[in-house]
Each structure stands twice: as C-alpha cells, then as structure tokens.
Chains A and B, each alone.
Chain A
C-alpha cells in the first residue's frame, strides 16, 4: 500500500503503452482503454479512502531522504482531484468508443489520452516544484498531440495559438523555479514553506511568486491571459475537448491553490489582492464574451473562463470557508463542464452542427439529450438544489464574511448572465423548430444509446452531488483546513522518512 500514491500515474502510463501497440485494432483499443479507465477509477477511490483514514499519504520515490528526493503527496485536495480525473477519464473513454473514427485511433488518440491522464494525476500528486514542471510538460506534449489530430478546419491555427501561449507559460514557470531555487536552495514544496518565510529579499520572492502566478494564470485561462482557450477548444474532437475543458485549466487552478496556500503566504496583502482583482475581471470578461457567441463549444469555452474566476476568487479571499468553496467549485465544475462538452457532441450528432443558427427542435426528436443538457446547464448557472448553487453560495458567503460586497454582487450577477447563455443554447438548439434543410454538408447520424450513458451518468453525479451536499462540504472544510494550516502536510512530508 506504500506505493498507492504512484499507482494513479503508473497505471495510465502502462495502459498507454499497451494501447500504442494496439493502434491498428480499433475494437481492442476501445476495450483496453475503457478497462484501464475503470481500473484507474478504482485506484482513485482506494487512494481517497486511504487519505480519509490516514489524512496524508506520502511516497518518497527512490527512497532518497527528505527533502532531497522527489515525493508524491496525497492530501485531501490531491486525492479528490485524482478521483475527479478518473471519473472524467472513464466518462470520456466510454463516450469515445462510439465517437472516434479509425483514423484517430490509428493516429494515437487513446495512448495520448492516457498519457494526459497520467500527467494530470502526476501534477495533482507531486510534492516537488520541478517535478510539477515536468508533469506540466508531459501534459503539454500529450495535449499538443491531441490538438492537431482530426480534420476540423482551424485546428492548426488554433493549435499554434495554444502551443505558443503555453510554451511561454512554461518559460515563466521555469524562470520562477530558477529564482526560487536561488533564493531558498530547495524545490520541495513542504520545505519551501519554512524557507520562503525566512527569505530576506522579499521583493525578489514576490517577483518569483508573480511569475508563477502568470504561468499558472495562462494555464488556468485567467484575465487577461485567456484568449488562447476559446481559440483552440472548439476545434478539438468532442471527447478531447471534454477532457481538456474539464481538467486542463483546473490543473492551473490547483497549482495556484497549492502554491499560494503552502509557499507564498508571507505577502498576502499584495499577491492575494492581485488574485482577487484578476478573479473578478476573469468572471466578468468570460461571461460577457460568451454572450456574443453562437457556436455551442465557443459559448461553453468562454464559460470555463468565467467559472475559473469563481475558484480563484475562493483562493484570493483566503479564508477556510472560501477555500472550501473553491474546492466544491472545482469538483462541481469539472464534472459539469466535461458533461456539457460531451452533450455538445450529441447535439452535433443529432442536429448536424455546432452552430446554434443551423440547428433546432432537438427537444422533440431527442428528449434524453435535452435532459442530459438541462441538468449540467442549470448546475452551471447555479440553480438550487444542483451542485453549482452550493458552490456559488459558499463563495458568496465567504465574500460577505470578508465584507467584499462588490465581489459578492458580481458573483451573483455573473451567475445570472450564465443563465442567459444556457437559455440561449436551450431555446436555439432544443426548443426552436428545426430550420429548413439548406446545406447538405451537415451530417446527421443516428444516436447510439451507448453515447448517452456517460452523459446521463455525469448528470446523475451532478444531481447526487447537489442533493448530498452536506458530506461534500464537510470534506471540503477539512481539505481547506489542511491548506490553511499546512503544518500537518509539512510534518507528514518532512517527518515521515522512508
């Protein structure tokens, strides 16, 4: 059981290896990918159960003494993020079995997806800053591969934007690593906590913190660094876009939460106030950007941005309640957003297009797709009793506690504008009568019931999360407590010698 924190990384890697040998055999690829994803889910549940029992699980890879080796640390936040990754991975694999064409399988869709899953889990579990950089790079490489496969127009120019901006983010990241190492002489996050507090040159440390904030801000698509996201996500194959939308920007949010609760807490007056302003502008610009779009996946992409703003706001307020709100928001948002992107694929399947102007009448012809859309859409907008309502409630309550009334008002208003966008998709795609057939290029395909299963399962998870919110909030409060008072984390990492 000591190796449990490494298994959610090793298993997808092994599955990816097997899948790269099976590229020419489509049916076996589907089976192996789905089985691998389910095993990954089981491991993630096991990891969460272990963490619930022992609070924190630490693995010193290679057995080097602390703090010189690389360690994998699973605290409450990491464990729950790994579980969500596994859930999304399973849903996306189940969906992909009936959506991916042989050409994409041959190009290596499955191995890339599994490597991406491994890298995301690695980023959530690592306790070392340089190791986090390495996982980010692995994630980038896998996402580059997925980005340029397929035949959608715009994928290459969208890909160029994604690639260049993300490369710049990694440069910021590694520059910050160089500065932090020069100042403290360590890159272990737990070790950094004490060493960063003792640094004399606080100006340079804050500069390094801001470099990291920019690097993670690009990944998380914060204002004003978000423009690459809506430029690229709508060109992706549907299962890929669902995984990207659910997970990738949230890895940036996770990294922000980890670094700005564990390491950079000495100058919160500057760093966290900056985060607060950025978060407010991110919420506002994301939701306003969505209002002008007519392509489903572009609307949803802009909503990723505005929702990320809520999570970062939770971090910026820096109280236990706000952090708990951010964690609930992460959990709720990843499931809902991945689901909405999967639904957009179903809309494309049944309606023939992603463009709202050319489709309609899907409520009449495909009632279950409508159900699959309306639940995550309302959860995203924050209707009680769905999960988004509780997440928004916690954030707004935390705003009021810190007497940030403008931010509370803004959070509520952004929720209202989200309703506007969701209603736009609902009326255009589902309610309005189907427009007369004009272009023969739109391909309507019959809907396989197997594609509905992942969508409806994720919708069910959303409903259950909303109805059984009490244990989730309690869990998040404990997780937030661990983040606000990192002594448990530090003593588990530095005290527990191999």
Chain B
C-alpha cells in the first residue's frame, strides 16, 4: 500500500513541477495546488498506513482498548490544508492585480520583467476600493 501511494506522490510531484516550471503564472498556481496535495499525502503516509480503528476511547472506558491509527499526521495535514487554501486565495488575487497592471502573466514577457512598464490601472477609485474594501 505504501509503495503504491509513494508512486502516486512521485507522479503528483512530477506533474506539479512541470506545471510550476512552465513559465505561466496561472499554471504555477495549479502546480502549487497539486504539489500541496502531494505533500499532504506524503505526511499522511509518513504516519504509516494500517487497517486499524480510529483513535477513539469508548464511553465506558478510560483508555484505548485496541490498536489505533496515528491521528497526528491528520491534524498536521488539516493545518497544512487550511494554510494552503489561504495561500492559494492570496496568490490568485495577487495575480489578478498583477494582470490588471502589466497585462500579462507570462514571466518571460517584457512587460512583466520591466518594472517601469507597470502602470496604474485606468480607474484609481476602483483600485482604492479593491485594496481597502468598503469603509
């Protein structure tokens, strides 16, 4: 089981790296999402895969009565998922703003590389509301 999951993780890493290196920032975000999930699977596998019961104590006992699965990796993954979700949201908004200013999300293009080419968007009022939110 571990070997199978390891192959899957490797495959996900490879696909994600390909996406992230492709030079388009939109593909980078997809790659980042994929690689985040691959890492989560890695942590999950690191906690060992066994057919055991969840770590719950029966109501009439004070301790565990049977072999249980490792709950810590799941807690770690949950944290990592939440953080990754926030990061992806932020990156998407940042890319949207960058696209509005530079007109491209291809990292090889001149308007992306040249800082002076970055200009204010047409409507500054809208810009302000976007950054600050309704006040």
A172 CB to nearest chain B CB (Å):
9
Does chain A have a CB within 8 A of B131?
yes
B11 CB to nearest chain A CB (Å):
15
Nearest CB in chain A to that of B42: its residue: A178
Instruction: Report the bound CA distance from A247 to B119 in whole Å.
Output: 30
A205 CB to nearest chain B CB (Å):
13
Does chain B have a CB within 8 A of A171?
yes
Does chain B have a CB within 8 A of A4?
no
Instruction: Report the bound CA distance from A156 to B79 in whole Å.
Output: 28
User: In residues 35-65 of chain B, which contact A (Cβ within 8 Å)?
Assistant: 35-36, 39, 42-43, 45-47
Inter-chain contact A153/B25, CB cutoff 8 Å = no
Inter-chain contact A157/B115, CB cutoff 8 Å = yes
Inter-chain contact A167/B32, CB cutoff 8 Å = yes
Residues of B within 8 A of A154 (CB): 115-116, 118
Question: Given known contacts A157-B98, A157-B118, is B83 in contact with A181 (CB within 8 Å)?
Answer: no
B74 CB to nearest chain A CB (Å):
12
User: In residues 149-171 of chain A, which contact B (Cβ within 8 Å)?
Assistant: 149, 151, 153-160, 163-164, 167-168, 170-171
Instruction: Report the bound CA distance from A141 to B35 in whole Å.
Output: 19
B65 CB to nearest chain A CB (Å):
20
Contact residue among A106, A167, A182 (Cβ-Cβ distance under 8 Å from B46): A182
Instruction: Report the bound CA distance from A175 to B35 in whole Å.
Output: 10
Question: Given known contacts A157-B115, A178-B46, is B76 in contact with A130 (CB within 8 Å)?
Answer: yes
Inter-chain contact B46/A181, CB cutoff 8 Å = yes
Instruction: Report the bound CA distance from A158 to B114 in whole Å.
Output: 10
Inter-chain contact B116/A153, CB cutoff 8 Å = yes
Instruction: Report the bound CA distance from A149 to B86 in whole Å.
Output: 18
Inter-chain contact A167/B98, CB cutoff 8 Å = no
Question: Given known contacts A107-B132, A134-B83, A171-B35, is B42 in contact with A156 (CB within 8 Å)?
Answer: no
Per-residue contact bits, chain B 77-106, to A (CB 8 Å; 1 contact, 0 not) = 001100100110011001101100110000
A336 CB to nearest chain B CB (Å):
27
Does chain B have a CB within 8 A of A469?
no
A contact patch SS? helix
B7 CB to nearest chain A CB (Å):
16
Residues of A within 8 A of B128 (CB): 103
Question: Given known contacts A107-B131, A181-B43, is B94 in contact with A158 (CB within 8 Å)?
Answer: no
Contact residue among B76, B80, B90, B98 (Cβ-Cβ distance under 8 Å from A144): B90
B92 CB to nearest chain A CB (Å):
11
Interface range, A side: 35 or more
Nearest CB in chain A to that of B111: its residue: A157
Does chain B have a CB within 8 A of A177?
yes
Question: Given known contacts A148-B97, A167-B87, A178-B39, is B46 in contact with A156 (CB within 8 Å)?
Answer: no
Instruction: Report the bound CA distance from A24 to B135 in whole Å.
Output: 9
B41 CB to nearest chain A CB (Å):
9
Does chain B have a CB within 8 A of A55?
no
Inter-chain contact B86/A141, CB cutoff 8 Å = yes
Instruction: Report the bound CA distance from A148 to B90 in whole Å.
Output: 11
A325 CB to nearest chain B CB (Å):
35
Does chain B have a CB within 8 A of A17?
no
A188 CB to nearest chain B CB (Å):
11
Nearest CB in chain B to that of A155: its residue: B118
Instruction: Report the bound CA distance from A24 to B133 in whole Å.
Output: 12
Contact residue among B28, B43, B83 (Cβ-Cβ distance under 8 Å from A137): B83
Residues of B within 8 A of A164 (CB): 25, 28, 91
Instruction: Report the bound CA distance from A140 to B94 in whole Å.
Output: 14
Inter-chain contact B86/A181, CB cutoff 8 Å = no
Instruction: Report the bound CA distance from A198 to B83 in whole Å.
Output: 32
Inter-chain contact B25/A160, CB cutoff 8 Å = yes
Question: Given known contacts A107-B131, A156-B98, A157-B118, is B91 in contact with A163 (CB within 8 Å)?
Answer: yes
Instruction: Report the bound CA distance from A158 to B94 in whole Å.
Output: 11
Residues of B within 8 A of A171 (CB): 32, 35-36, 39
Inter-chain contact A167/B91, CB cutoff 8 Å = yes
Does chain A have a CB within 8 A of B73?
yes
Residues of A within 8 A of B116 (CB): 153-154
Instruction: Report the bound CA distance from A181 to B101 in whole Å.
Output: 43
Does chain B have a CB within 8 A of A472?
no
Question: Given known contacts A174-B39, A179-B46, A181-B43, is B101 in contact with A156 (CB within 8 Å)?
Answer: yes
Instruction: Report the bound CA distance from A181 to B47 in whole Å.
Output: 7
Inter-chain contact A160/B95, CB cutoff 8 Å = yes
Question: Given known contacts A175-B42, A178-B46, A179-B46, is B102 in contact with A156 (CB within 8 Å)?
Answer: yes
Instruction: Report the bound CA distance from A465 to B83 in whole Å.
Output: 40
Residues of B within 8 A of A235 (CB): 115
Contact residue among A130, A158, A159, A182 (Cβ-Cβ distance under 8 Å from B45): A182
B39 CB to nearest chain A CB (Å):
5
Inter-chain contact A157/B131, CB cutoff 8 Å = no
Q: Which of B86, B116, B118 has the most CB of A within 10 A?
A: B118
Contact residue among B39, B86, B91, B115 (Cβ-Cβ distance under 8 Å from A158): B115
7 nearest A-B residue pairs (beta carbon) = A182-B46, A154-B115, A178-B43, A178-B42, A156-B98, A137-B83, A178-B46
Report which A residues bind B (CB closer than 8 A).
24, 103, 106-107, 130, 134, 137, 140-141, 144, 148-149, 151, 153-160, 163-164, 167-168, 170-171, 174-175, 177-179, 181-182, 235
11 interchain pairs, CB-CB under 8 A: A130-B79, A140-B87, A144-B90, A144-B94, A149-B131, A153-B118, A156-B98, A159-B98, A177-B76, A179-B42, A182-B45
